[in-house]
């Protein structure tokens, strides 16, 4: 299991300061919309320059027509990030186009598909997708698997079921982790490290419990010891 820290501080400097304080650890960092739109490629380069072994997950959740998604995927792969994601609901053709295009690279980034956004409640989700979240999340995961993606972004409570319906090695990345049962804040379905282990999650995403901690280094060490 790998730890992926969400770089969700408001300012770039604070995110960089956090990366620097953790430079001795084997870590993944998740860069989202705000940081990437504002701080761009330079931000990614700066993270890698702190420790070349740091891995970057660029969380841009692509959703568009197949040709446009493949073009975007090509540009993302050129950035040298280690993982990025697309929406599974963009469909087979789009996911296949993305995989074909990143396949042109010698060391392509891992590609994950978002199944269901955790902000949806079942009723809202059903209005859009016509089915219950849990059922549809498994279907989306199977589609992504058929299209040769590397894995999915899913709730920690769906990880094991998704592996059972695809393959043990099909990666699951699970946000909403409160490692030691910290405050869940706006997250609806949170799980701790024990749940993540039981559910065989490959990547746990942790944001606030780390970057808002008094001593982020101390909590990162505790998490790394446990996983
Ligand atoms: O602070 P916290 O640990 O809740 O942060 C979780 C991170 O994972 C945030 O960056 C959030 O946007 C992201 N995320 C999520 N649920 C998803 C996909 C991404 O919480 N389904």
Catalytic-labelled residue, pool 2, 17, 61, 212: 61
Count of domains forming the chain: 1
Query: What pLDDT is stored for residue 188 in this prediction?
Result: 77
Beta-bridge mates of residue 113: 86, 152
**Number of neighbours of residue 69 by Cβ within 10 angstroms:** 22
Q: Is residue 136 flagged as an active site residue?
A: no
Domain that holds residue 35: 2-226
At 12-46, the pLDDT tens digits run: 999 999 999 999 999 999 999 999 999 999 999 99
Look up the CATH number of the domain holding residue 171: 3.20.20.70
Q: For residue 16, what is the enclosing H or E element?
A: helix 12-21
pTM, whole model, 2 decimals?
Answer: 0.96
At 165-176, the pLDDT tens digits run: 999 999 999 999
At 125-163, the pLDDT tens digits run: 999 999 999 999 999 999 999 999 999 999 999 999 999
Mean model confidence pLDDT for the chain: 96
Find out whether the beta carbon of 158 lies less than 6 Å from any atom of ligand 1.
no
Query: What pLDDT is stored for residue 185 in this prediction?
Result: 83
Find out whether the beta carbon of 89 lies less than 6 Å from any atom of ligand 1.
no
């Amino acid at each position: 299991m790998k730890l992926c820290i969400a770089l969700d501080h408001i300012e770039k400097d604070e995110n960089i300061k956090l990366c620097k304080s953790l430079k001795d650890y084997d870590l993944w960092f998740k860069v989202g919309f705000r940081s990437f739109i504002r701080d761009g490629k330079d931000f990614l380069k700066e993270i890698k320059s702190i420790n070349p072994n740091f891995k970057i997950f660029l969380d841009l959740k692509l959703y568009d027509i197949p040709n446009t998604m493949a073009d975007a995927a090509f540009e993302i792969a050129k950035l040298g990030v280690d993982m990025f994601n697309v929406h599974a609901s963009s469909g087979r053709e789009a996911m296949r186009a993305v995989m074909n295009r990143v396949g042109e690279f010698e060391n392509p980034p891992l590609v994950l598909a978002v199944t269901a956004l955790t902000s949806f409640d079942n009723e809202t989700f059903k209005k859009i997708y016509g089915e219950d979240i849990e059922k549809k999340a498994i279907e989306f995961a199977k589609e992504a698997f058929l299209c040769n993606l590397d894995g999915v972004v899913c709730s920690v409570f769906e990880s094991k079921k998704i592996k059972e319906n695809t393959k043990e090695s099909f990666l699951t990345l699970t946000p909403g982790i409160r490692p030691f049962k910290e405050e869940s804040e706006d997250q609806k379905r949170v799980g701790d490290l024990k749940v993540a282990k039981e559910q065989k999650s490959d990547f746990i995403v942790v944001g606030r419990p780390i970057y808002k901690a008094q001593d982020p280094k101390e909590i990162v060490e505790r998490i790394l010891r446990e996983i």
